[in-house]
């Protein structure tokens, strides 16, 4: 009877040692997944920053070109007034004397300026990717969505070891006592996760593949 309990005690010590190794390995795998997710998020933030810089530069170039066009129009108007004043010294008096006649000219100019203002207000800077409330909201929503999806994998990894941890004692055929450790399954999951994150189609089909991968992982873990 004493030998039996000694044997049980030795087996429990051995199983606890193996379980400690599993915990250590799970921690290493978790740290590796966190590092991969961090690298991916840094890459997405850099892409967003580059996109903002490009759009701001395009907007600056548009404003500079618009200022040049306004300067040309102002210079032409000033030169026109100077030329008219040179040929007709009494031009201001003639304007007052012939107010009704010149009023038609100013009405046309006023209409031209109104049309110019209306056309300018309807100008589209470039494409749907130009800076606007909608485009900025869409880009920020995309970053938040990707961030939440990456955190979901990390949270899933944190919550999974306690629910999938093997029992300390597992009775096999023949009455022997042993322990089944899902080390190889965990390695395969991490390897599939890394290939998925760094694949070329990850960005385009991220949301669709995320649901399928979670279902596959849950199916594998349910069979442990």
> Higher confidence at residue 116 or residue 34?
34
Cα–Cα distance for residue pair 71/73, rounded to 1 Å: 5
pLDDT reported for residue 29: 87
195-207: per-residue pLDDT in tens? 554 554 444 444 4
User: Which one, of 36, 11, 20, lies nearest residue 161 by Cα?
Assistant: 20
pLDDT reported for residue 194: 54
pLDDT reported for residue 130: 54
Q: Around Cβ 214, how many Cβ atoms within 10 Å?
A: 13
| pLDDT above 60: residue 218 | no
CB distance 175 to 217 below 8 Å: no
Distances (CA, A) of 174 to 99, 170, 171, 178: 117, 12, 8, 11
pLDDT reported for residue 114: 73
First to last CA, the chain: 34
Both tokens assigned to 22: 């599993």
* Tally of domains within the chain: 1
> Higher confidence at residue 162 or residue 50?
50
141-159: per-residue pLDDT in tens? 776 776 667 666 655 554 5
Domain that holds residue 170: 2-222
Both tokens assigned to 178: 């042993």
Question: Does residue 179 come out as left (phi exceeding 0), alpha (psi in the -120 to 50 range) or beta?
Answer: beta
What does the mean pLDDT of the chain come to?
A: 67
Cα–Cα distance for residue pair 130/124, rounded to 1 Å: 9
SS3 readout for 30-70: HHHHHHHHHHHHHHHHHHHHHHHHHHHHHHHHHHHHHHHHH
Handedness of CA 88, 89, 92, 98 (dihedral sign): negative
User: Mean pLDDT, to the nearest integer, of 115-129?
Assistant: 60
Q: Range with the lowest mean pLDDT among 69-78, 107-116, 166-175?
A: 166-175
| pLDDT above 50: residue 74 | yes
| pLDDT above 70: residue 52 | yes
CA dihedral 181, 184, 186, 187 (to 10 degrees): 150
Q: 8-11 contacts: CB < 8 A, separation 24 or more?
A: 11/177
pTM, 2 dp: 0.28
């Amino acid at each position: 009877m004493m030998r039996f309990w000694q044997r049980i005690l030795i087996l429990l010590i051995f199983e606890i040692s193996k379980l400690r190794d599993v915990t250590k390995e799970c921690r290493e795998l978790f740290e590796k997944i966190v590092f991969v997710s961090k690298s991916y998020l840094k890459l997405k933030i850099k892409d967003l920053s580059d996109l903002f810089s490009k759009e701001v530069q395009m907007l600056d170039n548009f404003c500079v070109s618009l200022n040049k066009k306004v300067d040309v129009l102002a210079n032409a108007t000033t030169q026109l007034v100077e030329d008219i004043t040179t040929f007709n010294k009494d031009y201001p008096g003639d304007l007052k004397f012939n107010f009704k006649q010149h009023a038609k000219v100013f009405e046309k100019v006023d209409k031209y300026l109104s049309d110019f203002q209306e056309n300018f207000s309807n100008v589209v800077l470039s494409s749907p990717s130009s800076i606007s409330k909608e485009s900025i909201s869409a880009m920020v929503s995309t970053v938040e969505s990707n961030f939440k999806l990456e955190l979901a994998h990390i949270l899933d990894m944190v919550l999974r070891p306690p629910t999938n941890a093997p029992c300390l004692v597992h009775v096999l055929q023949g009455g022997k006592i042993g322990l089944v450790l899902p080390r190889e399954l965990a390695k395969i999951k991490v390897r599939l996760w890394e290939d998925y994150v760094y694949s070329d189609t990850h960005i385009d089909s991220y949301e669709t593949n995320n649901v399928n991968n979670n279902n596959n992982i849950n199916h594998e873990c349910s069979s442990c």
